[in-house]
Structure 1
Amino acid sequence: MKNRMRMLVAAFGIVCGIGLAFPVQQVAAEENTDDTTQDSAVIPEHISIGGTDVSGMSLDEANAVVQQYVDQYQDVTFTLTADDKSIEADGDDIGLCAKNADVTERALNYGKEGNLIERFKANADMQAGKEKDFSISLTSDTATVEAFLNENKSDLVTEAVDNTVKRVDGKFEYVEGSEGVTLMTGKSAVKIADFISTDWDGKDASIELLTEKDEPRGTKEELESIQDVLGSYHTDFGTVVNGRTNNIKTGASKLDGLVVYPGETISVSEAIGPTTAENGYYPAGSYENGTTVETYGGGICQVSTTLYNAVIRAELEIVTRAAHSMIVSYVEPSMDAAIADGIKDLQFKNNQETPIYIEGYTSGGIIYFNIYGKETRPSNRRVDFVSEVTSQTEPEKEYVAVGDQPVGYIETTTKPHIGYTARLWKIVYENDVEVSRKVFNNSKYNPSKEVISVGVGGATPEAAAAINAAIATKDDATIRSTIASYTPEAQAAAAQAAADAAAAQAAAAAAAQQQQQQTQTTTTPSAAGTPAGTTTGATPGTTSGTAQ
């Protein structure tokens, strides 16, 4: 025993002695390395990863080897089962990847990491030409798996159908739901990752997912308590049939009959579905970047706004509400609630102890929303909401020269919107006496300029320059007077006037010349110096010269 101890101590001394000669120098060298040196480093000789020789490779090249190793399993089929149903997934679906993603860095730094003994042994093995293989461990990405399961859970489990009610001929009828199964996507994703890491042999496999029993929400007693109107509101959208009115009707129908259970939060954007043609929506005007543009679902904000006003009168909890970018006409400022796919939403929470029922419908160009539930507020209490405008900003005017309209054309092509800041007051009355007044929300609406198009089509260079110069002044009177002077009619009249003036001037000149000639003829002297028209030495009754 003592001899063995002496041998171990001696061996350790030799290792330490050599270690002080080589590893210490190695450490010193490492201390002087920087990121540039690391980027240009290559993996030492006699090193392989997953059975592939990576000697002399850079870190990026070695990472490609690891990815190639993972890719060979991408076409493997994983059969995922739950509730007597199954779906198939491949490596991409479950996010198959290397569990030890740092394997390439470990290979690159082989002989440079660990304690002195570990580094000495690694360097001694490399000097002796001993092969070193770093194995690759596989797993799955739990976030990818969870997203895949959520996307396909309807093919795996039958979820519970909640007990509910429907309103028929002004009365509520109880509708019994059914028990179901909930797919535990998070825990199932972890189970798949663990299976890949520890039990998978690289071949097609079947994995049983985790589920739990899913009971329907809402008892018959709770649902039968829905009898009272907690809040109502309506707005006018007109009777003209177009894309906007169709969108309002569609949105109301998708919210009609919705039962919201205690503690549940409703997203109106999710409830009405994406505003696409496939979901029943049409192109119509909507606000975008300070202008009105045609988008699918235009007008749907009137649905969310009308519902918002019913919800706040029911005194449910508002989770998220956004004002429009510009003022709307169908409610007073700060009473609106805008929605836009992925940008703005109206969300509210049932803060009651019993379920509520949303009734939404349209009739005669008016959209109605009623919130039904169990009334628990005192009968002598009522709430009111009052809008207050706190500031106003007048819109600017912008004149734009357009070549597709003739000179003389001047029209407003984009209507202006006044900018406002506003707030909504919630006022509570008891026995018709005000007992509280609080600011319920604050809103800001941007002004939008009036765009006036000015035609320059067919204008001469002189006219175009004059009109553009007038536009630059931004003065309405200057612009209109300049346009008026260069219209085709004005130009024709000016040309005619100029022609008439020239003709008159020519006629006047001709008349003056004729008069001058006549004057010269009557005042010219005779050859003998006797005035013309007299006779000299002639017999009476005769004239000299040719007979007249």
Structure 2
Amino acid sequence: MKKFFGGIFLLFLSILVCPAINVQASDKGTIANGVYIGNIDVSGMTIADANTTIEAYFQELNSSELTLSAGEGKTITVMASDLGITWNNTDIADEAYALGHEGNIVQRYKAMKDLERNNHKFDIEYGYNEEALQDVLAKCSKNFDQKTVNYGLKKTENGFEVTEGQTGYLVDVAESVGIIKDFIKNDWNADNTVIQLSVKEDAPKGSAEELAKVRDVLGTYTTSYRTSGAARSANVANGCAHINGSTIYPGEEFSVLDTITPFTEANGYFPAGSYLNGLVVESVGGGICQVSTTLYNAVLLAELEVTERHNHSMIVTYVEPSADAAIAESGGKNFKFVNSTDAPIYIEGYTTSDKHITFTIYGVETRDPGHKVEYKSEVLETTPASADQYVTDPSQSLGYVGTQSAHLGYKAQLWKIVTENGQEVSREVVNSSTYKMVPRIITIGTAGADESAMAKIQTAISTGDVGTIKAVAGALGAARNAQGTENEAAAAQAAQDAVDAANQQLRDQQAAEEEELQG
């Protein structure tokens, strides 16, 4: 009996409730009253109308201006479209319509009663072109950032002077991204507006009191470049000047490549000889490795932590094997070290009129006066140069003959030997190096050579005599240059005579070899 009356009650309740629901939710396919998408009131709209309204909002939003500010006088105005703002949850109008229209009768009734008391807001999901957003903030950083300048040292004739530091003010890109996104989502009504970016303060390192302690010589080293030409000498002096005056704080890593590049004429460099894949070639900045090598040896004597060092592809003559430090921007070779002391260090570098380069590292000496360190090179293996190599080069004019000296191959290692009060306390290998063997390379220019000239050059090469090769190449070049002049016949005869001499030398050499075999 109770079940019977319970069923009657539910039936009666449904009859009373249903008309109310139909009035509130409407059967005309429109969104219920009190429903918002973002800040847009979509009450009474169809799904299509709501989508159109939201799209119009985004069009208006993207055509608005945003002024990004990093403080007084530091603003950039961009279009919102520059941030690549998009609407991600494009099905949100369907969700808005479903409220009060979907579910069982009780769920729909509850939803409509809730809307009578409080509005319901569906969030718009904003999308951004992250790359575009980063580009905009990178532009802000470039224009607004005030570089941090650490306290530094300057060595003068009267000693050291402390240079003042400067506090840096930097746009915090990561935090500023969040500020922009939060503002657009929660506070923007598509009007032109100003957004305050996050700016962080970066205090300079050091102080006058700390730097006043830097006076002790931790390590110094000198190499000579007296045989260098004007261009290479200028490169050594220029690279040294870029490093001179560097102040490095405890724990900081110093990169030689970052300090002395770019290798351009605008940065003070000239074309000069340098090593490349076993060849000596002209490159802007040639000779710069002597700068890094000299500094490397000063760093070793100061006993700082070396984090990157490479040997040359071929042996150099200004230091012992394994005591070099090569630099190659394109080859990924760099010299880096860390100030592993507890105090700042200062690098002094200078060159002299008699072509010597010196680096001295100043700091606070904490090593015992009886502590001494020295480095010794040990050659483990030597590879003699192989037979001469002859190369024809179509980029060089006919008549050109260039010679690159042979280089012995080496395997070597560098020992660090520490003594305390005259007694050796440790001996360890600092590095191991392998240097290529490179034969003497004779390059013969062939630009403009015809088939006959090439044959004569090959005949001269087969003699294996550089003098003969130069004579033949020179005569061929002269003959080519004299074509169409009154000296053409004489030049041609000189070329033929040189070829005949080369052929005779080749025959004599072959006869001598046969005689030796028979004997």
Task: State the one-letter code of the partner of 2:301.
Answer: R
Q: Any idea what the Cα deviations from partners look like across 1:331-353, whole Å, max 9, x if unmatched?
A: 22222222233622221111111
Written as runs of structure 1 = structure 2, the 5 A alignment for 1:3-14 is: 3=10
2:199 to 211, 217, 220: 211
d(CA) in 2 for partners of 1:458, 1:277: 32
d(CA) in 2 for partners of 1:286, 1:166: 32
Checking the alignment, whether the CA contact within 8 Å between 1:93 and 1:148 is kept in structure 2 is: no
1:373 to 359, 363, 380: 363
- TM-score normalised per structure 1: 0.62
d(CA) in 2 for partners of 1:80, 1:385: 57
Written as runs of structure 1 = structure 2, the 5 A alignment for 1:393-408 is: 393=383, 394-395=385-386, 397-401=388-392
Written as runs of structure 1 = structure 2, the 5 A alignment for 1:140-289 is: 140-141=129-130, 145=133, 149=137, 153=141, 155-196=143-184, 198-200=186-188, 204-238=192-226, 242-289=230-277
d(CA) in 2 for partners of 1:199, 1:358: 53
d(CA) in 2 for partners of 1:172, 1:464: 65
Checking the alignment, whether the CA contact within 8 Å between 2:61 and 2:80 is kept in structure 1 is: no
The aligned counterpart of 2:373 is 383
Deviation at 1:373, TM superposition (A): 0.5
Greater mean deviation of Cα atoms: 420-429 or 85-94: 85-94
The aligned counterpart of 2:291 is 303
Q: Which ranges in structure 2 are unaligned for 5 or more consecutive residues?
A: 1-5, 15-46, 93-101, 104-123, 477-492, 501-519
Q: Any idea what the Cα deviations from partners look like across 1:189-237, whole Å, max 9, x if unmatched?
A: 3333444455455565432121233322112221111010001111112
C-alpha change, 1:197 and 1:288, in structure 2 (3 Å) is: farther
The aligned counterpart of 1:446 is 436
Checking the alignment, whether the CA contact within 8 Å between 2:471 and 2:498 is kept in structure 1 is: no
Superposition CA RMSD, Å: 4.5
The aligned counterpart of 2:40 is none
d(CA) in 2 for partners of 1:283, 1:93: 48
- TM-score normalised per structure 2: 0.66
Deviation at 1:368, TM superposition (A): 1.0
Q: Which ranges in structure 1 are unaligned for 5 or more consecutive residues?
A: 8-45, 53-65, 108-116, 119-134, 496-548
Task: State the one-letter code of the partner of 1:223.
Answer: L
C-alpha change, 1:423 and 1:80, in structure 2 (3 Å) is: farther
Task: State the one-letter code of the partner of 1:257.
Answer: G
Checking the alignment, whether the CA contact within 8 Å between 1:418 and 1:447 is kept in structure 2 is: yes
Q: Secondary structure at the match of 1:387?
A: strand
Task: State the one-letter code of the partner of 2:237.
Answer: K
The aligned counterpart of 2:345 is 356
d(CA) in 2 for partners of 1:306, 1:425: 17
d(CA) in 1 for partners of 2:335, 2:305: 11
Deviation at 1:463, TM superposition (A): 7.8
Q: Any idea what the Cα deviations from partners look like across 1:54-76, whole Å, max 9, x if unmatched?
A: xxxxxxxxxxxx9xx99998886
Checking the alignment, whether the CA contact within 8 Å between 2:409 and 2:437 is kept in structure 1 is: yes
d(CA) in 1 for partners of 2:368, 2:213: 17
C-alpha change, 1:92 and 1:325, in structure 2 (3 Å) is: farther
C-alpha change, 1:192 and 1:453, in structure 2 (3 Å) is: same
C-alpha change, 1:418 and 1:182, in structure 2 (3 Å) is: same
Deviation at 1:380, TM superposition (A): 0.6
Q: Which structure: larger Rg?
A: 1
C-alpha change, 1:191 and 1:283, in structure 2 (3 Å) is: farther
Deviation at 1:438, TM superposition (A): 0.9
Written as runs of structure 1 = structure 2, the 5 A alignment for 1:533-544 is: none
d(CA) in 2 for partners of 1:494, 1:293: 30
Q: Secondary structure at the match of 1:161?
A: coil
Written as runs of structure 1 = structure 2, the 5 A alignment for 1:17-28 is: none
Q: Secondary structure at the match of 2:379?
A: strand
C-alpha change, 1:460 and 1:198, in structure 2 (3 Å) is: closer
Aligned-pair identity in percent equals 38
d(CA) in 1 for partners of 2:80, 2:335: 36
